[in-house]
Amino acid sequence: MVKVDLKGCSTFVNEAEYKNYVGKALDAFDTLQAENGAGNDFLGWKSLPVDTPDSLISDSEAIRDDWKARGVDLAVVIGIGGSYLGARCAIEALSHQFVRPEGSIQVVFAGNNLSEDYLAELMDLVERSNVACVVISKSGTTTEPAVAFRIVKEYLENKYGKSEAAVRTVAITDAKRGALKTLATQEGYRTFVVPDNVGGRYSVLTPVGILPIVLAGFDMRAMLKGAADERAELLVKGEENAAVKYAAMRNLLYSEQGKKVEVLVNYNPKFQYLGEWWKQLYGESEGKDQKGIFPASVNFTTDLHSVGQFIQEGDRVMFETVVNVEKAQRSVVIGSDAQNLDQLNYLAGKHVEHCNAMAALGTKLAHIDGGVPQIEISIEKIDEYNLGAIFYFFEFACGVSAYLLGVNPFNQPGVEAYKKNMFALLRKPGYEAQTEEILKRI
Ligand code: PA5
């Protein structure tokens, strides 16, 4: 289960101050549990670990098996924001970093940017593969995935013919609304529904995450079990509740210590996309009404040789939240060398992970000395079960933290601003007046 250790903050905050914020976090916890706070029509994620029907997993497995029987070796998963980051995080964390298992389906992501080079290079891979596609958009109207899907759809239809292309396409979208829903119905695609009461960034345990994760060969049942066990722990109200502790401390550091930036730290490259998923979850949930902690992420020890300098000695605006993985899954021991030319014999017989742990401890002490408080969040190992637990932990803690901060965790009004300008500049029908206005400004 997820553990939260606040000892790395003890020299920065006093007990009374912390107790005060725990009180505020417990009030926010009550709001989340009473379901009477802002955005309370988007709380479906809370019970997903216990009320997701197994048929969503078995239907996903049936699609995977059907596609494998057709020889599919590449699935292009198209989506942006909450419609891809959870699945990408899980797949990057669980996959071998260099070797794809024989007979597995490679999952790649598209529709999360508008780069022509990205799409062209993706199509280079598509052209040498046996391809299927999953297109995900809750609203069914988002431009980035729509553009990518138009291109992949045309390719599939030209290569396999219209009816085989339809069998190789799954749409995950709203039950009734949106262009993607209309298109999927018209073309006869298999579809899954994104529940109305679950927002994009809280949707990793819906078909948005389930289908891509199952296609990549991972165990969604174990992930839901981890989330369910974590949920059971988080439902117990009290000062020791991990979400309450995390929400209380991060808001204290933000409001009382001027720590406007939270840096999520990992010491395992498999967790790079945990940082990306977490940034979206917290950034979109809390950054509004001119408030919020700016979520950043780093990969250590890699980034100790880059932004580590800033964290140690730059502007004192940040605190760190370190995601600590207690056990490595594999074993690599450093050997002894008779000549010792590299002078590394003092490490002979040690596991590489021991060096990683000592780097983490040394960094923790140095950063605390440098004025950077540290929250530590631990899981036992990187597997489906623990990923389910950490997904649920961060979602639940985000709800508590945003209510403590006094913002609606479940809306994202700010993401519309760029879209209006982009549509006007692209001369989308209906935006003529804005086009006129905008052209005067540039
Ligand atoms: O968390 C959110 O709600 C957003 O990040 C959405 O997931 C993102 O904008 C994609 O939206 P949609 O699934 O409607 O295409």
Instruction: For 53-85, write each residue's pLDDT tens digit.
Output: 999 999 999 999 999 999 999 999 999 999 999
Cα 342 to ligand 1 centroid, rounded to whole Å? 50
Instruction: For 357-373, write each residue's pLDDT tens digit.
Output: 999 999 999 999 999 99
Q: Is the confidence at residue 14, as pLDDT, over 90?
A: yes
Mutation pick for ligand 1 pocket among 142, 193, 205, 410 (CB with most ligand atoms within 8 Å): 142
- Indicate if 270 belongs to the active site: no
The separation between CA 73 and the C-alpha centre of its own chain, rounded to angstroms, equals: 25
Instruction: For 269-328, write each residue's pLDDT tens digit.
Output: 999 999 999 999 999 999 999 999 999 999 999 999 999 999 999 999 999 999 999 999
Residue 442's pLDDT band (cuts 50, 70, 90): confident
- Indicate if 305 belongs to the active site: yes
Residue nearest to atom 9 of ligand 1 (CA): 81
SS3 222: helix
- Indicate if 419 belongs to the active site: yes
Average pLDDT over residues 379-402: 98
Cα 141 to ligand 1 centroid, rounded to whole Å? 10
DSSP state letters, 267-332: SSGGGHHHHHHHHHHHHHHH--TT--PEEEEEETTGGGGTTHHHHHHS-S-EEEEEEEES--SS--
Instruction: For 205-231, write each residue's pLDDT tens digit.
Output: 999 999 999 999 999 999 999 999 999
Mean residue pLDDT of the chain comes to: 97
**Which token pair is 440?**
């005067």
